[in-house]
Amino acid sequence: MTIQDYDTYIAGLPRVLVGAAALFRDAEGRVLLVEPNYREGWALPGGTVESDTGETPRQGARRETLEEIGLDVELGRLLAVDWVPPGPSRPRPPLVAYLYDGGVLGAERLESITLQEEELLSWRLVAPQHLAAYLPEELGHRVAAALDVLAHGHGPAELENGHRAG
């Protein structure tokens, strides 16, 4: 195979988006959510990994956390990986979403949150039993799986569209 053939081969491979987010909680176990201004619903601090720069999912989650809420946090362990296929309402390539433990934030850290006004309207802490009212279904399942990993010390959770794989 020549270099040109190899380049053509690589260019023809399917593409996958990579996203990464952080799961932050407060001392009461509530989850930190952010409200984007560019779509309905709430989300976790995070976003798309900049693979063209060589950024890893962990680096992307940390960068997005700093950009979106102004906190530079060394992230903990990987809690979940989720394969999210495209669907009728999602005209995009498949997504692999990484979710990292952001830890428990004390009152001082929470008070220091500074929102990225270009992307976010607000933030709030939500008790786990109320997350379904805020999050899209697959993200709600992803967060529930991550909370289960934290509670039971196993993991990370391998998910397919928010549901346990295998």
| pLDDT tens, position by position, 45-100 | 999 999 889 999 999 999 999 999 999 999 999 999 999 998 776 677 899 999 99
Please indicate, yes or no, if residue 58 is contained in any of the structural domains: yes
- The CA-based angle 138-155-106, given to 5 degrees, is 80
Q: What angle do CA 50, 55, 61 make, to 5 degrees?
A: 80
pTM value surpassing 0.75: yes
Whether 126 is covered by a domain: the verdict is: yes
In the three-class reduction of DSSP (H, G, I as helix; E, B as strand; rest coil), residue 125 is classed as strand
CATH at 103: 3.90.79.10
Which tens digit of pLDDT belongs to each residue from 4-40? 778 888 778 778 899 999 999 999 999 999 999 998 8
Q: Is residue 12 situated within a structural domain? A: no
Q: Is residue 11 part of a domain?
A: no
Residue-range definition of the domain harbouring residue 125 = 17-164
Domain count, the chain: 1
Tokens 């960068």 correspond to 63
- CA-nearest of 166, 27, 8, 162 to 81 is 162
- Is there a domain that residue 146 lies in? yes
Closest CA to 74 of 24, 108, 39, 30: 24
9 domain-assigned? no
95 found inside a domain: yes
Q: Look at residue 8 and tell me if it is in a domain.
A: no
